[in-house]
């Protein structure tokens, strides 16, 4: 097939020899199967911000490091330079997360290179050498569901031990190869220690996995792994080998009112931001206001 324009720099640099076929196109990127020497890999081409369905919500970016104060000010102002820096940071986040998690032993596609908004990484395949299916495309027996659920809980623990929460984990971004689940799509991964929304996102990730596997093994629906692993994480006791029970009793102490108010404030601020952006998009072109009556 014809080489997409965004992949041309990788061909020119000798990183890719040939683009074979499109693999998928999602809300944030298009993925192609490419040949690199005698190896098949995939190239993830990030879509431009104005062409993506997924918006870079402030809650995902909280706690991420910015190179310098100039960049931070530009991002806050929303200038052209700031938007470009924010876009670069969004894409770089997945690359950094993949390297970090691969080094921590989490089952993610192995990253190879990143150039001009294109991430070159391992192609996850099935037993026949074709692209591995997503978890949501597979029917499971109850025993398989229990096995894969336990495995995914273990992977989420490893991620948390590495200081990250996926933030958008579901059956749609987990592939299934002959050795088991592989976690993909990580540009929205958040810093567990530096993001006030990390626990809520962790609960959502775990909840999505439990709800999916619970369709095939209903007994999983009563488990509470997120709170259990978070309590161990906060106490500095969580390790990749921690044995979890899936049970958690809320501590008998007063609620953290300040934390609740923070969550409400953040949610209201994000809602206001979305409404303002929507109003700006829908607003007609500005016209000069008519003069006051006494000047007419």
Positions annotated as catalytic residues are: 168, 185
Residue 111: strand pairing partners: 121
The closest alpha carbon to 139, from 208, 213, 209, 207, belongs to 213
- Orientation angle between helical segments 198-214 and 225-234, nearest 10 degrees: 150
Phi, psi torsion values for 39, nearest 5 degrees: -110, 145
Torsion, CA 31, CA 37, CA 39, CA 44, rounded to 10:
-10
The closest alpha carbon to 105, from 47, 157, 53, belongs to 157
In the structure encoding, which two tokens stand for residue 55, read together?
């918006």
Question: Which of 204-230 are b and which e, b meaning 16 or more Cβ less than 10 Å from the residue's Cβ?
Answer: bbbbbbbebbbebbeebeebbbbbbbb
């Amino acid at each position: 097939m014809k080489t997409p324009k965004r992949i041309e720099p990788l061909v020119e640099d000798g990183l890719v020899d040939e683009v074979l076929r499109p693999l998928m196109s999602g809300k944030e990127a298009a993925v192609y199967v490419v040949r690199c020497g005698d190896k098949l890999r995939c190239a993830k081409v990030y879509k431009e911000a104005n062409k993506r369905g997924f918006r870079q919500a402030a809650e995902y970016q909280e706690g991420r490091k910015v190179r310098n104060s100039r960049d931070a000010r530009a991002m806050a102002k929303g200038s052209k330079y700031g938007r470009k820096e924010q876009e670069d940071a969004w894409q770089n986040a997945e690359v950094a997360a993949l390297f970090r998690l691969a080094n921590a032993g989490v089952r993610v596609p192995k990253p190879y290179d990143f150039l001009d908004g294109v991430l070159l990484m391992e192609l996850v395949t099935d037993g026949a050498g074709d692209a591995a299916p997503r978890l949501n495309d597979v029917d499971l027996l109850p025993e398989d569901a229990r096995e894969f659920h336990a495995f995914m809980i273990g992977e989420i623990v490893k991620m948390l031990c590495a200081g990250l929460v996926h933030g958008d984990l579901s059956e749609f971004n987990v592939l299934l190869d002959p050795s088991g689940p592989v976690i993909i799509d990580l540009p929205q991964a958040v810093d567990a220690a530096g993001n006030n929304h990390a626990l809520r996102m962790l609960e959502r990730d775990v909840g999505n996995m439990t709800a999916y596997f619970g369709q095939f093994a209903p007994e999983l629906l009563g488990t509470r792994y997120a709170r259990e692993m978070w309590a161990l994480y906060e106490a500095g006791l969580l390790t990749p080998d921690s044995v979890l029970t899936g049970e958690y009793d809320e501590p008998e102490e007063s609620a953290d009112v300040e934390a609740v108010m923070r969550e409400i404030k953040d949610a209201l601020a994000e809602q206001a931001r979305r409404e303002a952006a929507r109003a700006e998009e829908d607003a007609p072109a500005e016209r000069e206001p008519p003069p006051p009556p006494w000047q007419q």
